[in-house]
Amino acid sequence: MAIFSPIVGKAGTTGVRPRLVLSVRPSGNPMLPYATLALSILLGIAGQIVLKYSTSYKSALNISFGFINEMFVGAAMIYVVSLLLYTYSLQKLPLTLAYPSVSLSYIGVALVSAYVFGTHIGPRDLAGFALITMGVFLIATSQGFV
């Protein structure tokens, strides 16, 4: 569990204002927050693919209500698990690392979509993938996480 410890500057010293700094000190397995973040991203990709599939799915159970069918419910359940894992990782990792990392799911969705649905990926898409990956890498390294 991360421990948030406030560090307060000396009060009463001339010219020095008290300042509050929250530090995150992970305890337990240091790789677990990263693993849960990665799993959350993978489940987000899976949820998006299942959601897309649900839009053209014909319900075998005849319980379809417009766009809501069992595939749609399955996608929603995948998203809920992804959200829970992401929330856990946010307890341990700074938001400035976790949130940009989620943008890697754009690449995953595009690649899986190309494989499953035959979506075309062109040179501009590949350039975009490279920029996203480079951006996440730069953010992670600038904060000392890689």
pLDDT exceeds 80 at position 13: no
pLDDT in tens, 129-140: 999 999 999 988
Q: What is the mean pLDDT of the chain?
A: 83
Tens of pLDDT, residue by residue over 39-57, are 999 999 999 999 999 888 7
pTM for the predicted model, two decimal places: 0.75
Maximum average pLDDT range among 69-73, 92-96, 120-124: 120-124
Q: Would you list the domain boundaries of the chain?
A: 3-142
3-class DSSP string for 51-101: HHHHCCCCCCCCCCECCECHHHHHHHHHHHHHHHHHHHHHHHCCHHHHHHH
Q: CB-hemisphere CA count at 13 Å for 3? A: 5
